[in-house]
Amino acid sequence: MDVRFADGNIIITGNIKTNEDYLAIKTKIQERILLGDGAIAIVIADSTTISSSIIGFFLKVANKDKIPVTLKIASEKLRYILGELGLADLLNVSE
C-alpha cells in the first residue's frame, strides 16, 4: 500500500490490510490537518476493504474534529459496504 498527497487529495493505492497501513493513512491525514486543510478528500484507488480502525479514524475526523471527509472509492464492493453500514452520507462516499 502507498499513501501520498497530490492534487488536493490523499491518494491510497494498493490493498489496505495491515496496522502499518492504518498508521500511514492516519499520519498523512494528521499532517494535512496540521497544515490547516479545512476538509479531507481521500481517494481509495484499489482496495476493496478497509479496516474498522481506519473507518473509526475517518469518523473521528468527521464527527469529533468537525473536518468534512470525502471518500472517492473505485471499488463498488467497498462503496456498498460503507452504504450498508450507514456511513456513505457521513463520509461523502462517491465513485
Question: Cα–Cα distance between 22 and 8 in angstroms, integer?
Answer: 20
Question: Cα–Cα distance between 79 and 28 in angstroms, integer?
Answer: 22
Show pLDDT as tens, one digit a residue, over the chain (95 residues).
Answer: 999 999 999 999 999 999 999 999 999 999 999 999 999 999 999 999 999 999 999 999 999 999 999 999 999 999 999 999 999 999 999 99
Structural domain tally of the chain?
1
Range of the domain at 40: 2-94
* Three-state secondary structure call for residue 74: coil
The pTM of the full predicted model, rounded to 2 decimals, is 0.94
Question: Cα–Cα distance between 34 and 1 in angstroms, integer?
Answer: 23
Question: Cα–Cα distance between 80 and 78 in angstroms, integer?
Answer: 5
Q: What is the CATH number of the domain that holds 59?
A: 3.30.750.24
